[in-house]
Structure 1
């Protein structure tokens, strides 16, 4: 064989080998995406089409669910925004004295913890916080390459009278009302601006060598229920009904209920007693409108991710920081340990792994941190108390089948169909209990904890709760 032919053949084989290597590399990258789009939605309850509801219009969330893995039984570890976010982002459980309320700061409660964004930043990620990720935008400052929050009054009214009446008001002062319907463009409100900032960031990140952790924290459907009129127009209030569980059974401890002070601070809400039915339905209408508004903003961001051809290299995870009561148990807002406040929407889309599945595996929010680090090949710190749910993504049955949530003195063990709650003193002694069996009582209207025939079950659950609420719980 002459030298020319040998050279040509060698060159051809070399090019084919190089092509095969690039193809193999592309497949590998699809299996282990490096970027993370981290979407938080404030006060979003799992009242969505892919959870069995059919009355809220959220086509973009439906599409994400059809491409991801939907968790049917995801639970926050504490049903209040600041504490829930600090717990999730550090992967650490709340205790009696840690992660307590909306004012919680991770960098104060656990100053030595390495948060998820901080760990990623230490491993070469560009980390960006837009909108509400931590409750306090200054929290965990070293974790972020950049932080951004829209300017303006936090209630973000757009109707002139509401802006004027609420000018300069604090969290619980001024002429604030619980909702408004404004004839404005989507970008008039904070969440429209947050979506546009996220889109701009994606464009800037497109050609960077470093992987990114882009966190977008949307504000609605948090109170006040402000949304452009076109989203209110999607719903007919005549078709809105109060929940079936609009009752407070005598068998349930009074400690389980509250006066929903978060809602009462608004001037158009009575200071005590049940809400008038018309007002209750108006609020539900406003909540639905806000969910549809947020859905549209998330759709714009996901559309840009696709247009920029970043989809195949980006994990998308969407979560609500806790549930929310829309009249359930005659309650509004969160701050309780009923399932309506603890159960949350959670979707993860992993290129090459997910394609519209659902799982009923019980998952806690502290499980998100170790899952994401495992997916991108970074070792999680020893402070992490959650368990990665990557096995679920791989089609395996998880060993862990329980979750623990708490709010103030109330601590709840979720195991199988049972929801067991104790109100405990500082020394861990219970002073009130409730037990619901979701197999027979999904609305949590029949407290079994004091019934004689359930005492053995209560005793067993009490022991298990203490074994699983965390080694530092009483400290």
Structure 2
């Protein structure tokens, strides 16, 4: 064979190898063990973090992690409530597809996620089937907080996902210290704003316990011949807002700056979009709101410290170079924006989340401005681990963006979110944010987020934007149809209070 022909044949052989299923590449090259995955997920964490431009809350360990990989500035949840958000992340499927639209579960069968899709294979289950050791610490799938931390249970966990599953049991709102109920109108456990400046040792707290359990696993994980997927659930800043007293010191409540208020902000907003409004739901005074914000930041600070401890242990045991690290939240959270608090809303602060991915051989210290969805994580991690993602997933791999955050290969231009059992839907693009309530029958919101990032001016009734509204509405409905979704008929649902 002539030299030129030989070289050409060799080049095409390499191209064929590289474009084949990643698993084939590993087998053919005799590459070392597949990468590990450390999956860190916080609970109810909005993007009000130092690394996302909100200097009021410092998160040095999360920021340091971002400096090692790619920070996604526009990552969106599929549903702004814990159960369906986490089901979507771990299944790679829309809430419409799985049927998981709320925080309900079967305590006997633990089958919430698999009730509708019987042959479902979750992300950790997929890796487990391929020879990975999979382990969970604390909240990965839905857990009722604080109830299941008080009990040390995880009723909605998915047993097929794990070789090892560890729960934690802590005192939560009963932790000794200075305690205050900041939401006089709300008494539901897990929703009311209980603030606890805790006395005693850090080990009294759920997130410290979770970090300790994860750290204790690492020596054996480092020795094992198997690669691992280790999921570490951190429950703060989910209420109750409990943290050691020293974490409150940087955030004196009287120095807290509340979200800006705009006169007549609610005049052009559908009533259904205001269910999380302070009055009458929570009834917090201005001082109580500032105390809630202070306690939220303190809880985030404590959670960030545990992230730092886990990452330090990863480095100590020589696992940094061959471990993919993901840090994210299940959904966002309103901190008084539009006078609304907590989750379930469709405004930006409720549906947008932090997302940081550090992967060997990928970009370092980069930020990605592209629109991405949480269902994109499953195919991303599968590809990074050297496998071909299974068919039927709702998202697409973020690997092109990890290589080049502005990659032209990324063709998804919008994020779809659903709330309130399907009656609220959102489509977020680079320039626009559309919210349809009962397919528009209960209200429509259209925001020009380039010029109105605070989403204060609803343009849905502005004739100048009729074409934009129609185009986005059609795209949203196409997404819904793709996921086999059906919006509840507003006439047949209970009248809203």
Shorter-normalised TM range: 0.7 to 0.9
Q: What is the SS of the residue equivalent to 1:322?
A: coil
Kindly report which structure 2 residues correspond to 1:388-403, keeping only aligned pairs within 5 A, or say none: 388-395=397-404, 396-397=407-408, 398-403=410-415
State the match for 2:443 in structure 1: 432
**Please, which of 310, 323, 338 is the counterpart of residue 329 of structure 1?**
338
Q: CA deviation at 1:273?
A: 6.5
Contact 2:97 2:117 in 1 (8 A): no
**Please, which of 398, 405, 408 is the counterpart of residue 417 of structure 2?**
405
Q: What is the SS of the residue equivalent to 2:203?
A: helix
Kindly report which structure 2 residues correspond to 1:36-51, keeping only aligned pairs within 5 A, or say none: 36-51=37-52
CA distance in 2, matches of 1:32, 1:143: 21
1:467 aligns with 2:478: yes
State the match for 2:161 in structure 1: 143
State the match for 2:81 in structure 1: 80
CA distance in 1, matches of 2:91, 2:254: 44
1:217-275 deviations in Å (ceiling 9; x for gaps) = 00000001000001001223232111014664200111111146xxx9xxxxx864652
1:251 aligns with 2:265: no
1:303 aligns with 2:312: yes
1:190-242 deviations in Å (ceiling 9; x for gaps) = 11000000101112211000000000000000001000001001223232111
Q: CA deviation at 1:158?
A: 1.1
State the match for 1:277 in structure 2: 286
Pair 1:32–1:316, CA change in 2 (3 A): farther
Range that drifts further, 100-109 or 132-141: 100-109
Contact 1:319 1:344 in 2 (8 A): yes
CA distance in 2, matches of 1:161, 1:66: 36
Pair 1:29–1:172, CA change in 2 (3 A): farther
Pair 1:193–1:156, CA change in 2 (3 A): farther
TM-score under structure 2 normalisation? Answer: 0.82
Kindly report which structure 2 residues correspond to 1:200-219, keeping only aligned pairs within 5 A, or say none: 200-219=216-235
Contact 1:156 1:190 in 2 (8 A): no
Q: What is the SS of the residue equivalent to 2:65?
A: helix
Q: What is the SS of the residue equivalent to 1:67?
A: coil
State the match for 2:257 in structure 1: 241
Q: CA deviation at 1:102?
A: 2.0
Pair 1:106–1:174, CA change in 2 (3 A): closer
- Structure 2: which 5+ runs fail to align? 1-25, 106-111, 144-153, 182-186, 488-497
State the match for 1:199 in structure 2: 215
State the match for 1:3 in structure 2: none
CA distance in 1, matches of 2:476, 2:284: 35
Kindly report which structure 2 residues correspond to 1:147-226, keeping only aligned pairs within 5 A, or say none: 147-152=165-170, 155-159=172-176, 172=188, 178-226=194-242
When the two chains are superposed, the root-mean-square deviation of aligned CA atoms in Å is 2.6
State the match for 2:147 in structure 1: none
Contact 1:245 1:443 in 2 (8 A): no
State the match for 2:10 in structure 1: none
Kindly report which structure 2 residues correspond to 1:381-392, keeping only aligned pairs within 5 A, or say none: 381-392=390-401
1:410-455 deviations in Å (ceiling 9; x for gaps) = 111111210011112xxx5644211001111111111001112221
Contact 2:193 2:239 in 1 (8 A): no
CA distance in 2, matches of 1:96, 1:327: 32
Range that drifts further, 376-385 or 317-326: 376-385
CA distance in 2, matches of 1:365, 1:311: 24
Q: CA deviation at 1:149?
A: 0.8
State the match for 1:6 in structure 2: none
Q: CA deviation at 1:85?
A: 0.1
CA distance in 2, matches of 1:457, 1:211: 48
TM-score under structure 1 normalisation? Answer: 0.85
Which structure has the larger Rg over C-alpha atoms? 1
Pair 1:106–1:203, CA change in 2 (3 A): same
1:287 aligns with 2:292: no
Range that drifts further, 35-44 or 238-247: 238-247
CA distance in 2, matches of 1:176, 1:363: 31
Kindly report which structure 2 residues correspond to 1:49-68, keeping only aligned pairs within 5 A, or say none: 49-68=50-69
Count of matched residue positions in the alignment of Structure 1 and Structure 2: 431
1:364 aligns with 2:382: no
CA distance in 1, matches of 2:283, 2:262: 10
State the match for 1:21 in structure 2: none
State the match for 1:98 in structure 2: 99
Contact 1:37 1:317 in 2 (8 A): yes
Q: CA deviation at 1:109?
A: 4.1
State the match for 1:168 in structure 2: none
CA distance in 2, matches of 1:99, 1:421: 20
CA distance in 1, matches of 2:190, 2:40: 31
Contact 1:305 1:311 in 2 (8 A): yes
CA distance in 1, matches of 2:393, 2:41: 20
